Amino acid sequence: MNEGFEQPVMMKIDKIIDESDDTKSFMFRHNLDYNPGQFIMVWLPGIDEKPFAISSFGEDFFGFTVLARGNFTKLLHNMKQGEQIGIRGPFGHGFSIPDSIKDGTGSACIIGGGCGMASLTVLIEKLQDYNTTILIGATTKTKLLFKNRYKDITLFTDDGSEGRNGYPTDILEDLHKKHKYNIIYTCGPEIMMYKVYEFCRKYNIQCEASLERYMKCGIGICGQCVCDGQMVCKDGPVFDSQALGKMSDFGSCSLLKSGQRVSLKEYGEWIGC
């Protein structure tokens, strides 16, 4: 059985942080039994419930970050400090940290794209004192999340408005020659994660990617978030190279709310990201 909260627990918003023009973080003074990469289900009573990554975490607090893109997220953005939100979880299987990283003999790379960065922040905090390269990409300057939280990061924008012009994957080959990565972690647009996965496969590097699929139960029984026999909510959202290699839907297909399997492009248009 899952640890944590099976049913939503109402928690008071302790603080709201503006991360960019369309992104806010919601902070709570609450203890959570959580591993980086896991997610929570956020409930607005009587409205809807959706999964979010934990983007801040400490002994007596946590927070999650929300990009305003649909009705639910816009309602969240209108909430004020002191109001209550329902939280259940955390759920799923998070990132793993190999011994070679913990003992300092190896090195890691973390690649975040767009709002996918929200799934990587706590991992970055855990790994920033080790040999870790951090690459953050976004379409444009205003979409670069958490760029001021960390030192020694490399930024990329599709339009060149800040950092390097292009994608984090552009310089992976050079970085790997220098750092000899043991593991690369990624979360962001699936097309980017797929490129990272292919790069890792070519150079025999362990890869861990955090996938996004429309979810219902969050506890591995309904089958809505299936990705080739794997339930993203329970077996994932983080999958390693071995699991990703068996998922033909990775980088290609996802299920709409009805369960219809469509291309990631069509899925992306529906989910509004």
Partner 1 sequence: MTTPNLTIDLCGIKLSNPTVLPSGFLGTSKSLLKRVADNGAGAATIKSVSFEAREGHKNPTVIPFEAGMLNAVGYSNPGAEETAREFANIEDVSIPVIASIIGTEAGDFVRVVDKLSETQFSAIELPLSCPHTPGFGLLAGQGTPESTKDIVSAVRKATKLPIFVKLSPNIPEIWNLAKSAEDAGANAITAVNTLGPGMIINIEARKPVLSYKVGGVSGQALRPIATRCVYDIYEAVKIPIIGTGGISTGRHAIEMIMAGATAIGVGTGIYQRGIDIFRKICREMEIWMSENNFNSIEELIGIAHE
95 closest CA partner among 240, 233, 195, 199 = 240
Per CB under 8 A, 93 contacts partner 1: no
Per CB under 8 A, 45 contacts partner 1: yes
Residues 182/106, Cβ–Cβ less than 8 Å: yes
Q: Cβ 74 to partner 1, closest distance in Å?
A: 16
The residue among 45 and 166 lying less far from partner 1, judged by its C-beta, is: 45
Q: Is 111 helix (H, G, I), strand (E, B) or coil?
A: strand
Q: Is 146 helix (H, G, I), strand (E, B) or coil?
A: coil
CA distance 52 to 111: 19
SS (H, E, C) 6-75: EEEEEEECCEEEEEECCEEEEEECCCCCCCCCCEEEEEECCCEEEEEEEEEEECCEEEEEEECCCHHHHH
x/- string (CB under 8 A) for partner 1, residues 233-252? --------------------
Residues 112-141 that bind partner 1 (CB under 8 A): none
23 closest CA partner among 77, 72, 62 = 77
Per CB under 8 A, 221 contacts partner 1: yes
Residues 7-36 that bind partner 1 (CB under 8 A): 7-10
- By residue count, the chain amounts to 273
CA distance 209 to 201: 13
The residue among 133 and 230 lying less far from partner 1, judged by its C-beta, is: 230
Per CB under 8 A, 255 contacts partner 1: yes
Rule CB under 8 A: choose which of 166, 223, 245, 272 binds partner 1. 223
The residue among 98 and 220 lying less far from partner 1, judged by its C-beta, is: 220
CA distance 214 to 260: 11
Q: Cβ 223 to partner 1, closest distance in Å?
A: 4
Per CB under 8 A, 256 contacts partner 1: yes
Rule CB under 8 A: choose which of 3, 6, 173, 269 binds partner 1. 6
CB atoms within 10 A of CB 154: 15
Residues 175/169, Cβ–Cβ less than 8 Å: no
The residue among 1 and 59 lying less far from partner 1, judged by its C-beta, is: 1
Q: Cβ 228 to partner 1, closest distance in Å?
A: 5
Residues 14/27, Cβ–Cβ less than 8 Å: yes
Q: What is the DSSP letter of 213?
A: -
Per CB under 8 A, 74 contacts partner 1: no
The residue among 68 and 222 lying less far from partner 1, judged by its C-beta, is: 222
Per CB under 8 A, 50 contacts partner 1: yes
The residue among 7 and 204 lying less far from partner 1, judged by its C-beta, is: 7
Rule CB under 8 A: choose which of 4, 86, 98, 268 binds partner 1. 86
Q: Which residues bind partner 1 (CB under 8 A)?
A: 1, 6-10, 41, 43, 45-50, 84, 86, 215-224, 226, 228-229, 231, 255-261
